[in-house]
Amino acid sequence: MLTQEIIRHKRDGAELSAGEIKAMVEGISTGSASEGQVAAFAMAVFFQGMTHAEAAALTLAMRDSGDVFHWDLPGPVVDKHSTGGVGDNVSLMLAPIVAACGGYVPMISGRGLGHTGGTLDKMDSIPGYTSQPDNDLFRKVVAEVGCAIIGQTADLAPADKRFYATRDVTATVESVPLITASILSKKLSAGLGGLVMDVKSGNGAFMSTFERSVELATSITGVAREAGLSCNALITDMNQPLASAAGNAIEVQNAVDFLTGARRDARLAEVTLALAAEMLAITGLAADRDAGLAKARAALESGAAAELFGKMVAALGGPADFIESPGRHLATAGLTRAVAAPASGHVAGIETREIGLAVVELGGGRRRADDRINPAVGLTDLADLGVQVTKGDPLCVIHADSEAEADAAQAKVLEAYSIGAAPDVPQPVLKIID
């Protein structure tokens, strides 16, 4: 089957067969399809779109381009995927909460790029933690602890890696069917029985409008079912940072505080527990969402989730006393600086993307994929949308390693926050798609 003929069919608006899609993915995997042909195929799909059946065939073909996990465990295997945001450390609490309720969570996560933070970068801020273990250790930790948060290995959906790299430089990343196949191929390769999507919507999200977020969530849930995977989605608000902290070690500390009950940000708690409830409901670990919510809350309040997080960290090479003494192990920045509100009033708006870029200015994010990051820097005590402030009150606290970096981050924060009349504050969970 000629690669150029497959591209021509899609260019002209035809629906590709599963065989054509499989041949295209084989070309991407083996290198028999040239870089130009991969780019042309991506652009053809970008303009012509794909049916759910085509996207499902693409998902399964990319899944089968590498290793596929098969689990033999006494409970359901389930995961969550977020489209990315600022102050979004949900995975760190969610995995042990669901594991404490009887689920098994092999959470394969990614690194941050642009203004969004990456779960893998957060876990890498824990000394000794092995974020990319071999398959045997990954299986062992999931089976014995109930959850493991790791990064994608070279053997999981390798076709997606090449395809995404081409999409990234050909302005075709935003294609909904290609986003769908990229996400689901990796999740299906992890051997999941259930998946819950957290699709962000707002000025800090990849999909900035509610309508585009619903389009993506509908595509992912529909294609997942075509591929035999039970999948629901939550549309959640990203018109402000989700946690009161943004940065890597800083968000890990925030997660430990959440798990132990030392401090819990209200919006973060609502989203985390709603996702946990959905994961428990779709796997049958709870009768419905309400029962799942009660079960998840009990696992959190009892300390069971905190205990499992500590066990996971230790099993993957981190400190045995991490949950008890995170401050002994997490890096801290050289200086802190409060950013003063320039006027009195309410926090009328937050340009959330600018908050993420402030962390990048500090060295806590990447401008390029190969950049090294500073785990210690970031922002804490971020003021919520709608709160009343007096001129001079802190909007946040900057954690930096130099005055120059703090100056740059402060400028971004002041650009991001607007002070004025009290706004309408969106609910954290905007919609559930099932």
Dihedral Cα 36, 39, 44, 47, nearest 10 deg: -140
- The answer to whether residue 82 is catalytic is yes
Contact present, 71 and 189 (Cβ < 8 Å): no
- The answer to whether residue 185 is catalytic is no
Helical (H) or strand (E) element with 398: strand 394-400
**Strand 394-400 relative to strand 335-340: parallel, antiparallel, unpaired?**
antiparallel
Q: CA 280, 284, 290 angle in degrees (round to 5)? A: 50
- The answer to whether residue 329 is catalytic is no
Catalytic residue from among 82, 219, 221, 380: 82
Contact present, 428 and 234 (Cβ < 8 Å): no
How many residues would you count in the chain? 434
Quote the tokens at residue 179.
């986003």
Quote the tokens at residue 169.
């430089």
- The answer to whether residue 337 is catalytic is no
- The answer to whether residue 80 is catalytic is yes
Considering only CA atoms, which of 244, 250, 249, 246 is closest in space to residue 268? 244
Quote the tokens at residue 96.
């042990």
Catalytic residue from among 3, 131, 182, 213: 182
- The answer to whether residue 79 is catalytic is yes
Quote the tokens at residue 340.
């003063």
From CA 81, how far away is CA 58, in angstroms rounded?
Answer: 19
Catalytic residue from among 22, 63, 111, 187: 187
- The answer to whether residue 187 is catalytic is yes
Tell me, what DSSP letter sits at residue 397? E
From CA 354, how far away is CA 115, in angstroms rounded?
Answer: 8
Dihedral Cα 84, 86, 91, 94, nearest 10 deg: -120
Query: Which residue type, as a one-letter code, is found at position 150?
Result: I
Question: What contacts 24+ positions apart, CB below 8 Å, involve 168-175?
Answer: 170/39, 170/42, 170/43, 172/39, 172/42, 172/43, 172/45, 172/46, 174/46, 175/42, 175/45, 175/46, 175/49
For residue 428, report the phi and psi dihedrals to the nearest 5 degrees. Answer: -65, -40
Q: How many CB atoms lie within 10 A of CB 31?
A: 10
Catalytic residue from among 52, 81, 200, 412: 81
Catalytic residue from among 22, 122, 186, 311: 186
- The answer to whether residue 182 is catalytic is yes
From CA 238, how far away is CA 206, in angstroms rounded?
Answer: 10
- The answer to whether residue 366 is catalytic is no
Contacts of 189 (CB under 8 A, 6+ apart): 63, 66, 67, 68, 69, 156, 157
Quote the tokens at residue 281.
């409901």
Catalytic residue from among 65, 109, 119, 189: 119
Contacts of 305 (CB under 8 A, 6+ apart): 93, 96, 97, 99, 100, 259, 299
Residues with a catalytic annotation lie at 79-82, 119, 167, 182, 186-187
